[in-house]
Amino acid sequence: MNNRKGTIGILTGGGDVPGLNPAIRAVTFRALREGYNVIGIRRGWAGLVDLVRDPDADNSHCIQQLTEDQVNKAGRTGGTFLHSSRTRPSHLPQPSVPLHLRDQYTDEINDVTPEVLKNLEFLGIDTLIPIGGDDTLSYGQHLHQQGIKVIAIPKTMDNDVPCTDYCIGFSTCVTRTIELTHKLRTSAGSHERFLVIEVFGRYAGYTALLPAMAGAVDRCVIPECPIEIEHLAELLVSDRQNNPSNYSVVLIAEGATLRGQDEMSFEGHETDQFGHRKLGGIGDQVSAQLKELSPKFNNGRRINVVNQRLSYLVRCGEPDAIDSIVPMAFGNLALDLILQGDSGRLVCLRNGVYDNVPIDSIVGRKKVVDVQKYYDPARLRPKYDTFERQPLFVITSEG
C-alpha cells in the first residue's frame, strides 16, 4: 500500500442517503489521479473497530481497495456500497466489542479509540475522510484531536449539520417528498379527507419546511415549534373547505411535538450508540386527534384521515441532480484541502458558495430552523419575506 503521496481512507456513517456513492466516486477519482492510494472502510466506524491487525487476516468485511472502475459504477446508484452503521467507538457496548478485543475491553460501555488509532496506523492511512451527519462527524472531530488528519464531508437528509447550507441527501429527500405528496393527493381527494404525512426531521424541520415552501402542502409542522392541535384542525378544515376537491394536506416532521407534550414520539425505548431513540408516531397521534376534533370546525361532521409515513421512501434509490453534483464538488474540495496540507476541516456550502470550516465548529451545536425568520407559527406555513441574497435552498448555514 506504499505510494508516493500516501493513503486516503474514506467511510460513510449513519443513515444511508442518495449522494454517498457519488461522493466516494469523486474522492477516489481525484485521489488516484493525484497519486494517492484509496482504502474504503466498510460499515462506517465499525470497520475500524472490527479490523484484525494481522497481515494474514481476512479483513474484507472491514476494508476494500478502491479503483476507478468500481466507484464509477457505484457512483450512479443510491445508498453506500461501503455500507454504514451507527457504531460509536468511544461508547461501544460490550456485545459490540469484537471477539479479539473482549479480553481487553470488559466494561458495559467501552472506549476502543486506542484500537481505532492503531488500526489507522496499521492500514497506513494518512488522511481520513468521514462522510456523515453530526454523530459520525463528531467522532471524526475526536480523532482529529487525537492527531489524525481528518477532512469531513456533511451528509444528512435532515440538512442539520451546522456551518453548511447543504448536506448530501437533502435535495433528493425534498424532491421525493414533493413527488410522493402529490401522488397521495389523489387518495385524499377521492375520499375528501385530511392527508397527514410524516417525514424525517429529528431536531430540524427543513424536510417539512422546504416542500411546504415549494407548494406541496397546505400546512407544515416542525420540531422547533410545538403546535396546538385544535389550531391545526381549524386550519385544515378551512383549507379543505377552500379546496374544490374538498381535502387538505399537512406535512409533519418526526421530531415535532404537540403543545404540552413532554417529549417527542418514539417507537420504543432502545437507544443507539449515540443515545438516540428511534422516532416515529407523531403522524399517528395527529391523525387520531384531527379526526376527533374535526366536527368542532366542520358543522358537527367528522373528517377522516389518510395517514402516511414516508420514511425510507425518501432516502432510497438514486440521487437527483443536486445530490450528484454537490457530492462531486465536496469530494474535490476534500482533495484540494489534502493537497494543501490542511486537516481538521469540514467542506461545506456557505451562503451558496463552496467553502470549508474547522471541524471543531460543528461540535456542541445544532442547526435548526430560525422560526422568527423562516416560519409563521400562527399560519403553520413558511415565511416568504425575502429571497434576495439567499442560497439555493433558502436556508443558510446559520439556520
Question: What cell numbers appear for 192 in the block?
Answer: 375528501
User: What are the CA-CA distances from residue 327 to residues 36, 127, 131 (Å)?
Assistant: 19, 18, 10
Question: What cell numbers appear for 209 in the block?
Answer: 419546511
β-pairing, 248-253 vs 194-199, is parallel
DSSP, residue by residue, 200-223: --SS--HHHHHHHHTTS-SEEE-T
Query: What does the alpha-carbon distance between residue 376 and residue 372 come to, in Å, rounded to a whole number?
Result: 7
> Is 52 in contact with 101 (CB distance < 8 Å)?
no
Based on the number of CB atoms within 10 Å of its own CB, is 77 exposed (0-12), middle (13-18) or buried (19 or more)?
A: middle
> Is 12 in contact with 155 (CB distance < 8 Å)?
yes
- Which of 126, 158, 165, 323 is an active site residue? 158
Active site residue 103: no
Length of the chain, please? 399
Question: What residue has cell string 492510494?
Answer: 37
Query: What does the alpha-carbon distance between residue 77 and residue 106 come to, in Å, rounded to a whole number?
Result: 40
Query: What does the alpha-carbon distance between residue 282 and residue 278 come to, in Å, rounded to a whole number?
Result: 12
Helix 170-191 with 206-213: angle, nearest 10 deg:
60
Q: Give the residue among 232, 224, 225 at the shortest CA–CA distance from 249.
A: 232
β-pairing, 149-154 vs 127-132, is parallel
The dihedral through the CA atoms of 226, 229, 231, 237 has a sign that is: positive
Question: What cell numbers appear for 378 in the block?
Answer: 400562527
Distance between start and end Cα atoms, the chain: 43
**314 has which bridge partners?**
none
Catalytic center residues = 158
